[in-house]
Amino acid sequence: METARDRLQALFAEQRAARDALPPAQQDEPASLRAERAALDDELGRVRDAASHWQAVLERADATAEQLRRGAGYLVLKGTRPQAEEALSLLARRGTGAAEFEPLRTLHAERWRALGPGGIPTPSPAPWTAPAR
């Protein structure tokens, strides 16, 4: 009898096989291939690798507007603070419309405000305090 764990392991093995079937990453490969690598790594939970690939997509001249938005959105949500800030800076330099840019800036500010300095979540205040005895 197949368990949920067995199915999950099979799904991960399938994703790993798809990732391993890609040729090794090259500096000059098309943005579309880097975006595919990023998506596969994200599905495998390899956030650091996915962020690195999205960063490379943003640097490619052949990246489409959709790839730029997806990459910047990923880095704002899951990347490091410097990666997110660089992604936003790149979008601004490339002239991305304000309709896409402002929500990402707002999300970036809210994420790091919630995480606090150094990327550590800021504790919520207690809903009540116990009376002193």
DSSP-assigned states of every residue in 61-122: TT--HHHHHHHHHHHHHHS-HHHHHHHHHHHHHTT--HHHHHHHHHHHHHHHHHH-GGGPPP
Task: Look at 29 and 98; give whichever has higher pLDDT.
Answer: 29
Q: What percentage of the chain has pLDDT greater than the value 70? A: 84
Task: Look at 125 and 63; give whichever has higher pLDDT.
Answer: 63
State residue 97's pLDDT score.
59
Question: All domains of the chain, ordered by start, with CATH?
Answer: 10-116 (1.25.40)
Mean pLDDT of 28-57: 92
The predicted-structure confidence for 62-110, as pLDDT tens digits, reads as follows: 999 899 989 999 999 999 889 999 999 988 887 765 567 788 888 888 8
Mean pLDDT of 23-40: 89
Structure tokens at 23: 């040729």
CA distance 16 to 21: 8
Confidence of residue 3 (pLDDT cuts 50, 70, 90): very high
Which of left, alpha, beta for 82 (phi over 0: left; psi -120 to 50: alpha)? alpha
Task: Look at 88 and 118; give whichever has higher pLDDT.
Answer: 88
Task: Look at 133 and 45; give whichever has higher pLDDT.
Answer: 45
Mean pLDDT of 7-30: 84
